[in-house]
Structure 1
Amino acid sequence: MGGTAQRDLPAGWDALLRLLRSAGFRFALLFTGVFIGASALFAAVLWYATAGSLDRQTAVALRADTLGLMERWREGGPGAVAEAIAERLAADVENTAIYLLLGPDRRRLAGNLDRWPAGATDDGVWVYGIVEREGTRVEARILARELGEDYWLAVGRDVEEKQRLRELLAEGIGWSALGALVFALGGAVVLRRALESRLHPAVQTARAIAAGDLSHRVPLSRREDEFDRLGEGMNDMLDRIDRLMVAVRGVSDAIAHDLRTPIARARAKLEEALAGSDDPEALRAAMEQGIADLDHISRVFSALLRIAEAEAGARRAAFAPIDVVPLLAEIAEFYGAVAESRGQVLETALPPWLELVGDRDLLAQAAGNLVDNALKFTPDGGRVRLSARMLGRERIEIAVEDSGPGLAPADRARAGERFFRADASRGTPGSGLGLSLVQAVARLHGGELVLQDADPPPGLRAAMLLGAG
């Protein structure tokens, strides 16, 4: 119902709600708040340095003047104080000084203040307000002190000029604040429009991608700023998605092509056995062939699942520190019997210790695939070599080198593709997923699969370069 109510709003209110919910508005609001906060801080500093400074100067002057008159009281009594007040009033060129000396009978003995200021009933009290000085009402700041023997002294200053200055300063700050607010709002609008303008290409690209057109990319400026980095990241992501989509289509086509044959063969055998069900041997052979074909299909799907897990990084949670030397030794021992049955020699060149952080099972399967491929394509009496070594401080190489026919450069470039099989290997058993799994495992471990000619030729050297960390 909330969505229905929102759709029923007038167009103006709907636009206002979109504005309030937009990230550009929030950034603009943040800009406005920061700018106004900075302006308020500047105004406070200005006020403290001007009006506040005037108040502090007045207070200091009144205290110093009062202390001077109290010193004259201690030296000469009421007469000395009255004489000092008369001298200071005579020397007051600016006509801002205010004095009043009262005797015990509350009679004025000296000064220009008509009456004792209201509120000055305690020793050391400050009085702010309107007082009468020689018949004129002025705004003053007064400090009252008791001199002793019921004599009282009031020392003050006419602060009307300073008050007018304070009012002018407050008015100026007010107008400045209004100007700052207008400027902040204008800057916020400009900032919001600038953000929308820079984000518009990314939004348009995202909408095109959502509509199914994967060819769109975010156009980049030459500023190399955060928006360009965002665009580069989106473009890299879209390129990756595009490659994955192509790979998925290729895998689908390859699965349909490579699995069609064993499925069709299993169906034909079963139909043939069903037609000749009187022959138990034929029926048994057909069932065995069907089971073998289904096992092949199951192995293909298992390999595809492992490749998908490795490429997606789903197996990274199983990473742990492992020593690959015992792992490779076990693989060499297992395939050594296979090599011996074919009259081949499986050599190893392994260091005493070689540790990395990774998935033991995936590394074992990848290394086993390399050895199995090497033995498969090496002729009887040939030689296969399994080695491992440290490259620098952060790379480990696990390599298998054979003395077979090798691979042409064009075939090596495609060897990591799913279901790819070179023309020379069409007649050998397999599904074309072995090197795809090796490549996915290598990338999962921060490395790559490198294929090159054996040294000396002929033959192929397949090496997994893995990150040690």
Structure 2
Amino acid sequence: MFTSAAVALVAVLWWATAGALDRQTDAAIRADAIALAERFREAGTTGLVESIEERLAVDVAGDSIYLLLEAETDRRLAGNLDSWPKAENGSGPWFRTRVVHDGLSVEARAHRIDLPGLRLLVGRDETERSELRRLLTEGVFWSFGAVIFFAFLGASLIRNALQARMRPTFVTTAAIAGGDLSSRVPLSGRGDEFDRLAQVLNAMLDRIGTLMEGVRGVSDAIAHDLRTPIARARAKLEDALATSEDEDSLRAAVEQGIADLDGISRIFQALLRIAEAEAGARRAAFAPLDLGALLADAAEIYEAAAEARGQRLLTDLPPDLDLVGDRDLLFQAVANLLDNAIKFTPPGGTVQLAAAALPGAVLVSVADDGPGVSPEDRSHAGERFFRADRSRATPGSGLGLSLVRAVAHLHAGEIVLEDAVPDRVPPGLRVTISLPRA
């Protein structure tokens, strides 16, 4: 690019200097020839000869060339050439040639004019212009050499600078490829494109580290939380096999073992749904839906469960809530919130399901009269298998809010946990899902 720009610059300079000189010479010759032709029409051959002699007399620089010959005899009538020169580039009216001028052989630019019975040659000595053109040509070649040198020098400097700025990134990525996930790209503090690239890479690495920690945490949680029900089911079956005295007791033990295994199967199904939601695999099922009708169906299903525990399920739902999303996952998320709220609300308490339409989003909230979640535990409430200390005695796997959070993120939304009634003891819990309509 540097060389191309330099070539364009030199071409413009050449056109503006050597080209301008040639155009200036041609213009002077043309004007002189027109003036002499006009003089011939006014005063004839005698006046033309006098005009040529006058021009030669006042030509101090000695670069004017004139020759007037009779057309038939080639007899010289006026001028400072002895004979008609031979054209080097054809027989046109304009040509370049070498002439003997004032005892010297010089290059000349000439123009031929045919007059009645006469031949007129008007030209200019180009010795000085040729020398200037030669100097310009030498300068052009020297400048091309300098351009190529500086182009390679600049390319080398830029390459080294880029390598120096990218070397920390290469080192970090090599360390990451070697298994050191704690490496991060250092920032230079300049705030340029390389620092922005480093920030994006570091954010990506932090996200990967978080996901890896989550995978390890899930693995540990699965090993810890599923070991107990599996061991319990196995112990019950072994005990029944060893101590059952009749078929009814053995059948009861087997049924209890099947129920325990069904619970484990439900945990795995919940994990699969969470993984699908977090991976975005369910976006293909997005379709327009009426969220108000979906919430009403969920409330109708869980109203009987609330009445069975002596609770009230109150709803505040607008008639129409248009949304685009996965109906099954949204229903599962709301069902999880209602199930948790009913589970932790004491008899005689109230569970509230409400929704509201904002200009760009839909808010769905579920509130209960239960013990609530402490501020310290709210940041972990959406993690898989996390259970607060006060809920350890309550049946569950700790995956309900994890699924709710995954579904909200799949729909580009978020969840917020807060006290239902801050001034009350216990304060209860309100979980709000914010879902954008776009």
Q: Which bin holds the TM-score, normalised by the shorter protein?
A: over 0.9
What do the CA deviations read for 1:189-213 (whole angstroms, capped 9, x no partner)?
A: 1111111111111111111111111
Q: Does the C-alpha gap of structure 1 residues 412 and 122 become closer, same or farther in structure 2, counting only changes over 3 Å? A: closer
For 1:47, what is the secondary structure of its paired residue? helix
**What letter corresponds to residue 158 of structure 1 in structure 2?**
D
Distance in 2 (CA, whole Å) between partners of 1:320 and 1:46 is: 66
Q: Does the C-alpha gap of structure 1 residues 38 and 301 become closer, same or farther in structure 2, counting only changes over 3 Å? A: same
Q: Does the C-alpha gap of structure 1 residues 214 and 121 become closer, same or farther in structure 2, counting only changes over 3 Å? A: closer
Q: Does the C-alpha gap of structure 1 residues 122 and 245 become closer, same or farther in structure 2, counting only changes over 3 Å? A: closer
Partner of 2:263: 296
**What letter corresponds to residue 155 of structure 1 in structure 2?**
V
Partner of 2:234: 267
Partner of 1:405: 371
- Displacement, 1:276? 5.3
Distance in 2 (CA, whole Å) between partners of 1:185 and 1:234 is: 32
Tell me, yes or no, if structure 1 residue 372 matches structure 2 residue 339: yes
For 1:389, what is the secondary structure of its paired residue? strand
Partner of 2:434: 465
Scaled by the length of structure 1, the TM-score of the pair is 0.87
- Displacement, 1:53? 0.9
What do the CA deviations read for 1:20-64 (whole angstroms, capped 9, x no partner)?
A: xxxxxxxxxxxxxx1111111111111111111111111111111
**What letter corresponds to residue 400 of structure 1 in structure 2?**
V
Partner of 1:328: 295
Tell me, yes or no, if structure 1 residue 360 matches structure 2 residue 324: no
Tell me, yes or no, if structure 1 residue 115 matches structure 2 residue 83: yes
Distance in 1 (CA, whole Å) between partners of 2:235 and 2:174 is: 49
Partner of 1:310: 277
Partner of 1:138: 106
- Displacement, 1:463? 0.6
- Displacement, 1:270? 2.9
Over the aligned positions, Cα root-mean-square deviation in angstroms equals 2.1
**What letter corresponds to residue 57 of structure 2 in structure 1?**
A
- Displacement, 1:159? 1.0
Partner of 1:231: 198
Q: Does the C-alpha gap of structure 1 residues 356 and 121 become closer, same or farther in structure 2, counting only changes over 3 Å? A: closer
Mapping 1:71-110, distance limit 5 Å:
71-105=38-72, 106-110=74-78
Q: What is the aligned counterpart of 1:387 among 349, 354, 358?
A: 354
- Displacement, 1:233? 0.8
Distance in 1 (CA, whole Å) between partners of 2:326 and 2:198 is: 34
- Displacement, 1:82? 1.9
Distance in 2 (CA, whole Å) between partners of 1:317 and 1:53 is: 70
For 1:314, what is the secondary structure of its paired residue? coil
Distance in 2 (CA, whole Å) between partners of 1:387 and 1:111 is: 112
Distance in 2 (CA, whole Å) between partners of 1:424 and 1:328 is: 29
Q: Does the C-alpha gap of structure 1 residues 73 and 406 become closer, same or farther in structure 2, counting only changes over 3 Å? A: same
Partner of 2:396: 430
Distance in 1 (CA, whole Å) between partners of 2:90 and 2:171 is: 77
Q: How many residues align?
A: 434
Q: Report if aligned partners of 2:354, 2:364 keep a CA contact under 8 Å in 1.
A: yes
- Displacement, 1:185? 1.1
Q: Does the C-alpha gap of structure 1 residues 80 and 286 become closer, same or farther in structure 2, counting only changes over 3 Å? A: farther
Q: Report if aligned partners of 2:236, 2:253 keep a CA contact under 8 Å in 1.
A: yes
**What letter corresponds to residue 378 of structure 1 in structure 2?**
T
For 1:176, what is the secondary structure of its paired residue? helix
Mapping 1:339-354, distance limit 5 Å:
339-354=306-321
- Displacement, 1:240? 0.8
Worse-matched range after superposition: 354-363 or 273-282: 273-282
Q: Does the C-alpha gap of structure 1 residues 112 and 354 become closer, same or farther in structure 2, counting only changes over 3 Å? A: farther
Partner of 1:255: 222
Distance in 1 (CA, whole Å) between partners of 2:96 and 2:254 is: 113
Tell me, yes or no, if structure 1 residue 440 matches structure 2 residue 409: no
Distance in 2 (CA, whole Å) between partners of 1:126 and 1:291 is: 111
For 2:219, what is the secondary structure of its paired residue? helix
Distance in 2 (CA, whole Å) between partners of 1:362 and 1:165 is: 85
Q: Report if aligned partners of 2:89, 2:96 keep a CA contact under 8 Å in 1.
A: no
Q: Report if aligned partners of 1:117, 1:127 keep a CA contact under 8 Å in 2.
A: no
Q: Report if aligned partners of 1:98, 1:157 keep a CA contact under 8 Å in 2.
A: yes
Q: Report if aligned partners of 2:88, 2:96 keep a CA contact under 8 Å in 1.
A: no
Distance in 2 (CA, whole Å) between partners of 1:49 and 1:293 is: 94
What do the CA deviations read for 1:416-456 (whole angstroms, capped 9, x no partner)?
A: 11101122222322210000111122222223211110136
What do the CA deviations read for 1:196-245 (whole angstroms, capped 9, x no partner)?
A: 11111111111111111111111101100011011111111111111111
Worse-matched range after superposition: 111-120 or 186-195: 111-120
Tell me, yes or no, if structure 1 residue 189 matches structure 2 residue 169: no
Overall identity of the aligned pairs, in %: 61
Distance in 1 (CA, whole Å) between partners of 2:113 and 2:260 is: 114
Q: Report if aligned partners of 2:365, 2:431 keep a CA contact under 8 Å in 1.
A: yes
For 2:282, what is the secondary structure of its paired residue? helix
Q: Does the C-alpha gap of structure 1 residues 314 and 107 become closer, same or farther in structure 2, counting only changes over 3 Å? A: farther
What do the CA deviations read for 1:68-123 (whole angstroms, capped 9, x no partner)?
A: 12212222222222222211122212111111222122222221223223238988
Q: Does the C-alpha gap of structure 1 residues 134 and 244 become closer, same or farther in structure 2, counting only changes over 3 Å? A: same
Q: Report if aligned partners of 2:56, 2:64 keep a CA contact under 8 Å in 1.
A: yes
Q: Report if aligned partners of 2:86, 2:97 keep a CA contact under 8 Å in 1.
A: no
Tell me, yes or no, if structure 1 residue 416 matches structure 2 residue 385: no
- Displacement, 1:260? 0.8
Q: Report if aligned partners of 1:115, 1:132 keep a CA contact under 8 Å in 2.
A: no
Tell me, yes or no, if structure 1 residue 50 matches structure 2 residue 17: yes
- Displacement, 1:357? 3.4
Worse-matched range after superposition: 275-284 or 332-341: 275-284
Q: Report if aligned partners of 2:306, 2:312 keep a CA contact under 8 Å in 1.
A: yes
Distance in 2 (CA, whole Å) between partners of 1:355 and 1:329 is: 14
Q: Does the C-alpha gap of structure 1 residues 353 and 88 become closer, same or farther in structure 2, counting only changes over 3 Å? A: farther
Q: Report if aligned partners of 1:120, 1:144 keep a CA contact under 8 Å in 2.
A: no
